Structure 1
């Protein structure tokens, strides 16, 4: 009997269990068992046993005759079903099945019996041929026979005839497993089912047998778990939790092991019984998106214009997710309508990054930063549109400026309250309503705040006037010492000053995070966490603050000396210059303060989109939807999710590219080969004077703050552009060189605050220099020289 059992009913983990012998379902279960996964005990009834049955019962000939002579597959199936019903399992097969069942279960236990068909391309899913709650010592042989009979269902007969598969070659195996009585059971997808995103496991759970049996009495609890962290990012369903966060993380890890054993994304049936998870079945996930198609996030091929990363690109330096791009478009249309008047947009995407269309901006009369000597091709913008753009921008700034202070007053508290309301929302419908009720109005309020404050900077003329009187270094020191009304540092310098106060103990961590925790290098990208969300950020900030405190104190002394020099050389002009600087400081603080509060609002927008991902269980896939599509998803329309795979692939491909040029003329292909580094041309790079002084040292080229994390004291930081989020890195740098900035940029302002030389607008610096080169930076003359 044992020999028959081995030939006809081998154990589940049999090393020789291949699909031809045990079918697809059986082979998958065998692989899981061989990988050491917790699989329900069971055994196979092989295709060899089926053929032996057909031989011993003499059914082979009559079955084939019925198929050939019947008027239809349905007629053949009915006749063959009667044949199988009249023939029980012969003794040798009946004994083998019962013997194998005795080894996995007790006398009164139950088993599940499922047909397991061999691999057959295009074969339809088996018809209902699964039997549950079968007594192991009773009706098991009959259930096996009925699974064999399912091979001759009308659907399978019709399929074989359409596919040209000979009926003589057909065979089926059976998988028998011990029946569980689980507390909770369900189905797990090791990747997001619709988008195929690998960073998320989706679990469906029901009480009792649930998804492990044909009857599903209750709606499931659905849980999304982030991979590989195991963090639960959302759940829907019954109020009472069927799986704790810890259990969900444990199950997600088990799913990852199943995927590893299968070698591909899988759908896993599981059960939780007596505190232990068991894998019931696993098969490949079907219908996942494939291919390598990408979208074109590039506006430059359409027109022969000059595009610049200065200004707007400084604020949004990275590749934008579709959600961020939709919000930026909303901002540009609401806050800066002159930049988007009547369809003549003065901004666009270059390889997914935000650039200003300098040609169109000039035609619309808008402020744009272009280095001296660079020709700006003319744009074909109708005179009427240009006039409307200029008037709209000027009128909005003039009429709204009176409201700027009112708009800013209390805005941090309103944003904090909004984030708390977003966190408390429990359903997608409530979150969608909150957008229209509170989030969108607050965003439009922030847009009006920026419009009211005016856009751009006016520091160049002030600095030049000071430099003519006392020289560049003294002028920088005087600008660094200017305070906002009330004695606080200017809003643009606030994060740096806050780090210094944090290091000195004048400001506690909670107060710093509350005031400046929203400022970061990607503060207008909703997919990127804010510094306040990163527990590891604060210790690094304290270290940077200690260096900043020393440099800022030294700078205050330099500022006092510079004012003394001005009074000595030009006593009649000192008072007038103080008044001019005070006016400049008010305007600068108003502009930078508005930008800071807009960044705070983008933190609220990020919280909203993150919560949408939690409540819809889509996780970070929502960042690859526009804000309109996110709202549609909250309404139950998930059609846009099918666009996510292509958008995610596009986003990752653009992010992997090296830094783009600061200025782009005409068509630009981000994927085209870039010119290599030329040693001769890199000997001297000309730019603009950002912060006076000289410094020499090794270069550290960085495309992002993450690249610059290894910046050492005394190194020269070289990058495309910086913003307030780079502030913790500046105290370590001996000098700063940027490609896209201007003398009134954040890079120049931060360098002046700290008293370190800076050259800005140094085109192609990141391409012509590499980490380890030794250079001298002349911030007064605006040059970088290789040593």
Structure 2
């Protein structure tokens, strides 16, 4: 029997799936097939899934949209409905039913049509049920639905819906439970409300609900006494539902005869972190978390395109999703997030999982990891996620152990990867260019490019070493902070030049004729300031790039060898002092320094090769654009959408103008704060003239203080040395034209693309960074004083300010403001010279 023909828009393909199953227009919860789930609508799909998973869901069936013609059941469909009713009356004690709507785009993380479509309760005869089905089906034409579409910016077309018929539970109590506070996003507290009797009285406003809370991780109850007994089962079910459905849930429930029933479960729409039409990612909306952008900002200083965001959200290795907290044995939370186009690490997850190692002390956990994550102010509270003692021992600790073992296993593969990656990238790039069939390109991605690229990403992370950090801590206790920094400032001299300095040292060789331009481009043509953005053109794509770099290089009137010689002299002097003080530990310390140098060198090498493989992903994306109508706009699609377009489904291309507008809007904003606590709206933050550039705290709004305070600016020790000089604020690498030799470079963060500027600088000061960030490593090797991770340096300092940078102490002292004629009160030095002064080394 043919399907009744009418258009279903984006669901056309889904309806064709059921062409071979026309005799099953009405399907029980138990028998809903996977290919029919989308046709069952949001409510029908979830109820069927939970029923099959063993949750106590009232039995029922789903009437698919194909069962209707002009909102009336076909004769065949009617027969199937009556057959299902006979079954339910035979198998269930309940003899009355509820008829509910199930919209195909309902109950997702993005949209909930709660109360917009009709439901009919307490019907029992066949005729009452038939009329209820027709009434519910017709509700899709209502004025309230059209108004909801306008408010939510949804298409104005009528929504296709299925109809659910369920056994009615005569509830003693019924209510709603949110597994995360829907207002604050607090993960440590479930909130809910309930009434006596059926829940529809609460929805309609005929009854006033009572509220209650459940504190995690133990489910401690606070609320009316009559709910104390059933709430234990409700808490267990809620935790399981979060785990099984993968996100925070809004759960409708009922109690009858001492049993708990699940009536509905759907994502909490206020905690949604993604809008598909505009490709807006904002994981700060998914809960109350503390987000840190330190290392992420250095790797990707600009707003990421949807294509790049989607790859950061899909990092899976050996079946484990490392963007999700499941990799740490904690389910349902984002670990690597995107906040309006910029990458952040969820510090709440990492701290919650690590606290037991430090006796449950949150602040000590942060302090131990500050070299990697950066510091957080004492007054910033870290929202935690619920992890019980049992869950930590049985899930978190084993997951962490497996992670450490995986990283150690990957670390052994780094030399092989470094040796083979150049050839693989060349061969794969050529293969991509030769492909003419879009579907063939999609297959190449799935079978070869994606697995290899994921492996490259995890190899780069496995190469991250803590040896320099641990050694600096040991040396700090032995010889002091400044001498420890000096002893670690010669890693290149102890092994071979670090990759971070390669673009500088080898460009010097090109200028001297000791290295060819071709060899230089082969080595560094894939590196640069925005190499983690796949839409960013690589230097190797520009034939004039090398000549431009040489021209800029000639503006630096310093011999690079002079910088290294000065740095080497400072290291030698410090090492001699160490030898005199600890003669018995000289051999051991020399070996430890050598080991740290080799580890740092390996990390730099694998990072470079991982960046090279990222250039292959860019080649794939551009080829996909060329083989389809997406063109260069391909980067406004997610990787899954690119694959869909390659395979013939180009409906998403209609969203490209909206996505480009969203992306351009983000690009126009200033860099976001490094630390974000709670829900963050970048446009609202940017519109505040007194916004803070270092921290955003949604629960305790803190406005920026005046920039002319006398307090020194503090950060991490980047590279030792004290310098006085004039500030030059550079907001991005492209705007460095006014940066003069001998000025103090102040910027948000740096990466390998900035290396060529460093010899011009008297000192480096950054908002973002740690002792292992690019600015600190490169400055140490060049002997340039540096203070990194200041948080608010670009907010407090202005071009022309006179400052003293104390790299060894991690302090920047403002001596004289650019617009003032006399020194500040806290400056005791007079007669400051007009060029930078190296006070001591």
Aligned-partner SS, 1:521: coil
Residues 365-398 of structure 1, C-alpha deviation per residue, up to 9 Å, x if partnerless? 3955131653451321433553354123212112
Of residues 785, 805, 809 in structure 2, which corresponds to 1:757? 785
**2:729 is matched with which residue?**
701
Change (3 A) 1:690 1:361: same
Q: CA RMSD in A?
A: 2.8
**1:727 is matched with which residue?**
755
Of residues 492, 512, 522 in structure 2, which corresponds to 1:504? 512
Change (3 A) 1:331 1:512: farther
- 2:465–2:600 contact (8 Å) kept in structure 1: no
Report the Cα offset of residue 294 of structure 1: 5.5
Of residues 311, 314, 328 in structure 1, which corresponds to 2:312? 328
- 1:500–1:549 contact (8 Å) kept in structure 2: no
- 1:315–1:723 contact (8 Å) kept in structure 2: yes
1:785 aligns with 2:793: no
Of residues 391, 413, 420 in structure 2, which corresponds to 1:403? 413
- 1:160-309 matches, within 5 Å, as 296-309=280-293
**2:666 is matched with which residue?**
654
- 1:518–1:530 contact (8 Å) kept in structure 2: yes
Report the Cα offset of residue 484 of structure 1: 8.6
Moved more, 316-325 or 357-366: 357-366
**1:67 is matched with which residue?**
none
**Structure 1: segments with no counterpart, 5+ residues:** 1-292
Change (3 A) 1:731 1:684: same
Report the Cα offset of residue 310 of structure 1: 1.2
**1:3 is matched with which residue?**
none
Report the Cα offset of residue 617 of structure 1: 4.2
Query: How many Å separate the matches in 1 of 2:589 and 2:381?
Result: 34
**1:742 is matched with which residue?**
770
Change (3 A) 1:351 1:697: farther
- 1:487-502 matches, within 5 Å, as 487-502=495-510
1:370 aligns with 2:374: yes
Report the Cα offset of residue 740 of structure 1: 1.9
**2:62 is matched with which residue?**
none
Change (3 A) 1:304 1:325: same
Report the Cα offset of residue 604 of structure 1: 0.7
Aligned-partner SS, 1:777: strand
- 1:544–1:731 contact (8 Å) kept in structure 2: no
- 1:659–1:766 contact (8 Å) kept in structure 2: no
Aligned-partner SS, 1:586: helix
Report the Cα offset of residue 727 of structure 1: 1.0
**1:460 is matched with which residue?**
469
Of residues 739, 743, 754 in structure 2, which corresponds to 1:711? 739
Of residues 516, 526, 529 in structure 2, which corresponds to 1:521? 529
Query: How many Å separate the matches in 1 of 2:648 and 2:598?
Result: 48
Moved more, 393-402 or 529-538: 529-538
- 1:663–1:740 contact (8 Å) kept in structure 2: no
- 1:317-396 matches, within 5 Å, as 317-331=301-315, 337=321, 340-342=324-326, 343-365=332-354, 369-371=373-375, 373-374=377-378, 375-382=380-387, 383-384=391-392, 386-396=396-406
Query: How many Å separate the matches in 1 of 2:635 and 2:278?
Result: 16
Query: How many Å separate the matches in 2 of 1:523 and 1:704?
Result: 15
Aligned-partner SS, 2:736: helix
Residues 53-93 of structure 1, C-alpha deviation per residue, up to 9 Å, x if partnerless? xxxxxxxxxxxxxxxxxxxxxxxxxxxxxxxxxxxxxxxxx
- 1:338–1:364 contact (8 Å) kept in structure 2: no
How many residues get paired?
493
Report the Cα offset of residue 564 of structure 1: 3.4
Report the Cα offset of residue 647 of structure 1: 1.3
Report the Cα offset of residue 666 of structure 1: 1.8
Report the Cα offset of residue 332 of structure 1: 6.2
**1:74 is matched with which residue?**
none
TM-score under structure 2 normalisation?
0.55
Query: How many Å separate the matches in 2 of 1:332 and 1:579?
Result: 37
Change (3 A) 1:693 1:705: same
Change (3 A) 1:345 1:393: farther
Aligned-partner SS, 1:419: helix
- 1:760–1:782 contact (8 Å) kept in structure 2: yes
Change (3 A) 1:501 1:318: same
**1:311 is matched with which residue?**
295
**1:56 is matched with which residue?**
none
Of residues 490, 499, 509 in structure 2, which corresponds to 1:481? 490
Query: How many Å separate the matches in 1 of 2:635 and 2:446?
Result: 19
**1:690 is matched with which residue?**
718
**2:836 is matched with which residue?**
none
- 1:694–1:777 contact (8 Å) kept in structure 2: yes
**Structure 2: segments with no counterpart, 5+ residues:** 1-276, 327-331, 355-364, 691-703, 816-841
Report the Cα offset of residue 513 of structure 1: 1.4
**2:825 is matched with which residue?**
none
**1:583 is matched with which residue?**
595
**1:538 is matched with which residue?**
546
- 2:498–2:600 contact (8 Å) kept in structure 1: yes
Report the Cα offset of residue 467 of structure 1: 4.8
- 2:283–2:334 contact (8 Å) kept in structure 1: no
**2:117 is matched with which residue?**
none
Change (3 A) 1:534 1:559: farther
Aligned-partner SS, 1:731: helix
